[in-house]
Chains A and B, each alone.
Chain A
């Protein structure tokens, strides 16, 4: 409302000049007339604003009559438009400031009997009021602030409550996240204790709601149940990802009990570990920790699956859902099934056809795992599908000797990942927008690919020049081919823009005293 009035103001200035030049009203719309009224000098008395308000709305009940009256008022005011032009800009400034006040005054006028639909005429009222009340706007500041008590008082009360509940919720989530591990170990028996342990806070309830769904999915061999649990677990990993990272390695230690609990542990432990895995650095140690403990309770192939998962991750062929990969591969390990490779080969075929084949398995628990395993062949991006398909056969053969590959890839992963992490942080800095953690992993993968291409290109360029050392000229040629360096933009310009001073001095030759140039060419 006020913004529109301000825009009207801006336009009305032009129109006023236009009208003055024309000497007569071109557009005889009520809006333009009223704008002129806004700008023209006050005609009515300043002392009694109310008396102005009342006689103004009363004759303006009918539109036509109102127009005439406004026109009449305008005609009266037209000869005085010129002398009032000097006043108009001065009026505009207080007018703009006081537009909100004008609105409240307008509302007063409205309350006094104006129909709401006739808003432009309400503007007329306001305008006439302003014309008369321009000088009085300074005084009614206090009464108008009093006239709007509801707007002033509402915010603080709400905020105080929100912060308090929020802090409570934060504390209770930390409490609520600790017990669910115990609750899911013995699902049936500890249900009443869960309700005792966890307070009546909103965050504990979704976890509670998910634990019964986990149990329900196990007995009934329905795909939908498995799906829901996976989704619920997936959601839970999302929500409690960073928190559970700490408790992740601890949880597998707790879940050493029998098979039924193992499945629950799988459902929870692996999402936690997968969230760990899919998280930041230190992939390997977490995987190793989980692998050692997993072996104690599951079959041997499980740890191998994790190791293979690690190698696959290094192969930078992770599809869009690495969490499900880790869950699935660990499920595969529990099955010791080779059939997993077939769905891997067929990339993109969805979960449901795979899951329809699953219910024929003997027990519900392996079927649950298998259903999640068959989610593994997610549609990977085209450049990475080739890598994916090439890697699984290798991992198949390597699955047999357990644990020998764990110390191998480890030194490659950690410093490599930290280096990529550096550039991923730069990515998030350049993007200037919040990003998902998954997208940072994607960035790291892209960087890996980029480094491969870069090294290959540099090798080709150096060989083309008959050298075995990569020199800055090769780099310049590369950047020229990439389109970064053009005839308009030279390499030195880019160096100056993006690198800090110390590197600039090293790269760009600069003349110093004594006829010396650094760096020497």
Chain B
């Protein structure tokens, strides 16, 4: 195939926290609550760690299946585990 369906790693990752996005999401779901300034950043940190764990788990799944590409079912299985862990 000339066109690849996988995502390459060459994009730059921006380190900024999408504070407005997080605040808006929180406001949409819980309009009666307020989010503090610093806790905004901690929410972003939490998301980063969640994504990090998810990525590690799906990479493990993909390597176990001896795939060079992370596929949907790898992510799915990883998500079940990690979401269960992150219940709190």
Interface size class of B (residues with CB under 8 A): 35 or more
The answer, yes or no, to whether A511 is at the interface (CB within 8 Å) is: no
Residues B39 and A452 in contact, CB atoms below 8 Å apart:
no
A residues near B3, Cβ cutoff 8 Å:
239-243
Within 8 A of A (CB), among B1-43: 1-3, 5-9, 11, 13-15, 17-18, 21-22, 24-26, 28-30, 32-39, 41-43
Docked complex Cα distance between A418 and B44 (Å): 15
Whether B72 and A442, one on each chain, are in contact in the complex, defined by CB atoms closer than 8 angstroms, is: yes
Chain B residue at minimal CB-CB distance from A446: B79
Judge if A386 is at the interface, Cβ distance under 8 Å: no
CB distance from A234 to the nearest CB of B (A): 12
- A170→B68 contact, CB < 8 A: no
Q: Which stretch of A292-300, A341-349, A432-440 is in the interface?
A: A432-440
| Alpha-carbon gap, A475 to B49, bound state (A) | 13
B88 near A457: Cβ-Cβ < 8 Å: yes
Q: Which of B41-88 contact A (CB under 8 A)?
A: 41-52, 54-56, 58-59, 62, 68-76, 79-80, 82-83, 85-88
With A427-B54, A436-B6 as given contacts, are A455 and B29 in contact (CB-CB < 8 Å)? yes
| Contact residues in B for A472 (Cβ distance below 8 Å) | 36, 38-39, 42
Among A85-93, A120-128, A497-505, the stretch that binds chain B is A497-505
Given the complex of chains A and B, what is the CA–CA distance between A418 and B29 in angstroms?
18
Q: Among residues 190 to 214 in chain A, which have CB atoms less than 8 Å away from a CB atom of chain B?
A: 203
* A337 contacts the other chain (CB 8 A): no
Question: Across the interface, which residues of A come within 8 angstroms of B18, CB to CB?
Answer: 419, 422
A11–B11 CA distance with the chains assembled, in angstroms: 46
Residues in A neighbouring B54, C-beta threshold 8 A: 427, 443, 446
A-chain residues with CB within 8 Å of residue B56 when the two chains form the complex: 430-431
Minimal beta-carbon separation of B9 from chain A (angstroms): 7
Write out the residue numbers on chain A whose beta carbons fall within 8 Å of the beta carbon of B25.
416, 419, 451, 455
* CA gap between A187 and B51 in the complex, in Å: 48
User: A13 at interface (Cβ–Cβ under 8 A)?
Assistant: no
Say whether B17 contacts A482, CB under 8 Å. Answer: no
**Residues of B with C-beta under 8 A to A479:** 42, 46, 49
The verdict on A470 contacting B33 (CB below 8 Å), with A419-B21, A433-B69 known, is yes
Q: How far is the CB of A392 from chain B (nearest CB, A)?
A: 21
Interchain CB contact under 8 A, A437 and B30? no
- A166: chain B residues at CB < 8 Å are 2
Whether the Cβ atoms of B52 and A430 lie closer than 8 Å is yes
Taken together as a complex, chains A and B put the C-alpha atoms of A22 and B9 apart, in Å, by: 57
Q: Measured between alpha carbons, how far is A202 from B18 in the docked complex, in Å?
A: 45
Q: State the CA gap A454–B28 with chains docked (Å).
A: 13
Tell me, yes or no, whether A216 is within 8 Å of chain B by CB.
no
Assembly CA distance A455 to B47 (angstroms): 12
Q: Does A478 contact B (CB under 8 A)?
A: yes
B72 & A438 in contact (Cβ 8 Å cutoff): yes
Q: Identify which of B38, B45, B59, B69 gathers the most chain A CB atoms within 10 Å of its CB.
A: B45
Say which residue of A428, A439, A451, A474 sits within 8 Å of B39 (CB atoms): A474
- A426: nearest chain-B partner, CB-CB: B51
Provided the pairs A434-B69, A475-B46, A478-B88 are in contact, do residues A443 and B13 lie with their beta carbons within 8 angstroms?
A: no
Determine which of B35, B49, B69 lies in contact with A435 in the assembled complex, contact meaning CB atoms within 8 Å.
B69
Contact partner, A453, options B11, B24, B33, B86, Cβ 8 Å: B86
Q: Report Cα–Cα, A469/B26, bound state, in Å.
A: 12
A413 to chain B, nearest CB (A): 12
Residues of chain B lying within 8 A (CB to CB) of residue A238:
1, 5
Residue on B nearest A440 in the bound complex, by CB: B7
- State whether A425 and B55 are in contact (beta carbons under 8 Å apart), knowing that A442-B79, A478-B88, A483-B85 are contacts in the complex: no
The smallest C-beta distance from A418 to any residue of chain B, in angstroms, reads 8
**Is A475 in contact with B39, judged by CB distance below 8 angstroms?**
yes
Contact A442 B76 (CB under 8 A): yes
Q: Considering the chains assembled together, what is the distance between the CA atoms of A470 and B39 in angstroms?
A: 7
Report the separation of the CA atoms of residues A462 and B32 in the bound assembly, to the nearest whole angstrom.
12
Query: Is A436's CB under 8 angstroms from B5's CB?
Result: yes
Whether, in the assembled complex, A103 has its beta carbon less than 8 Å from a beta carbon of chain B, the answer is no
Say whether, besides A169-B2, A442-B75, A428 and B9 are in contact (CB < 8 Å): yes
Query: B60 CB to closest chain A CB, in angstroms?
Result: 10
Task: Assess whether A131 is interfacial by the CB under 8 Å rule.
Answer: no
9 tightest A-B contacts by CB? Answer: A419-B21, A430-B55, A434-B6, A475-B42, A481-B88, A431-B55, A446-B79, A435-B70, A469-B34
7 contacts between A and B (CB under 8 A): A435-B6, A436-B69, A439-B71, A439-B74, A441-B72, A468-B33, A499-B41
